[in-house]
A and B are shown apart, each in its own frame.
Chain A
Amino acid sequence: EAGVVQSPRYKIIEKKQPVAFWCNPISGHNTLYWYRQNLGQGPELLIRYENEEAVDDSQLPKDRFSAERLKGVDSTLKIQPAELGDSAVYLCASSPPGFGQPSYEQYFGPGTRLTVT
């Protein structure tokens, strides 16, 4: 079974430039998560989707970050404009349907390592 696919794996951009990350979850997984992870810290949830609906986006810095999950399958996370502090690993995860609420048994993609110079 194919895992969560993310691209690109690495991205180096100058500050104030836009950047986009793409994620394709495991087939059949209706829940999709975007996380940001800084060195030495645990992943921080940015947004969670149930199918195509964003149900948790309280941690998403909405002035510069946006996300979409059209058709409830793959998803794109965008930063515009990027700042130096956005340098981090951006992880996508998916989980299968639970019973009444998300299962939270998450399967992560390899991540995109973003460096903003």
Chain B
Amino acid sequence: RKEVEQDPGPFNVPEGATVAFNCTYSNSASQSFFWYRQDCRKEPKLLMSVYSSGNEDGRFTAQLNRASQYISLLIRDSKLSDSATYLCGLPRDNYGQNFVFGPGTRLSVLP
């Protein structure tokens, strides 16, 4: 298994829909996880940190499933402005050494 895997998409959803995508990781001892959002030709921006079972911020919910080694990002009531690539990332090992990103999942919210 690769260190971090994501379905590249694209996920095409209508405005107002709920969409979720997953990020699987190989290091079972990972303790912290991060979702970043990256708009086309822009830099990644931190969306959410996940340190325990999950985190919620408005329409965005991140959940951690340690048994199956994945984190998910749920977006409710999708807006056109949510269209972006969503990257997940985590430290590479138990000592906080290095940091690895997945390839990202592209989301397009359609009018």
Contacts and interface: CB of A to CB of B under 8 A. Distances in A.
Nearest to A35: B101
A45 B104 contact: no
| Interface range for B | 20 to 34
B43 A110 contact: yes
Given A48-B98, A91-B43, A105 B89 contact: no
Contacts of A106: 34, 36, 44, 46, 99
Contacts of A101: 91, 95-96
Interface in B1-51: 4, 8, 32, 34, 36, 42-46, 49
Interface residues of A, number: 23
Contact residues of B: prevailing secondary structure: strand
B98 A110 contact: no
Nearest to B98: A56
30 contacts: A41-B104, A42-B87, A42-B89, A42-B101, A42-B102, A42-B103, A42-B104, A43-B87, A45-B98, A45-B99, A45-B100, A48-B98, A55-B97, A58-B98, A91-B43, A91-B44, A101-B91, A102-B91, A102-B96, A104-B32, A104-B89, A104-B91, A105-B34, A105-B46, A105-B49, A106-B36, A106-B44, A108-B43, A109-B43, A110-B43
Interface of B: 4, 8, 32, 34, 36, 42-46, 49, 87, 89-91, 95-104
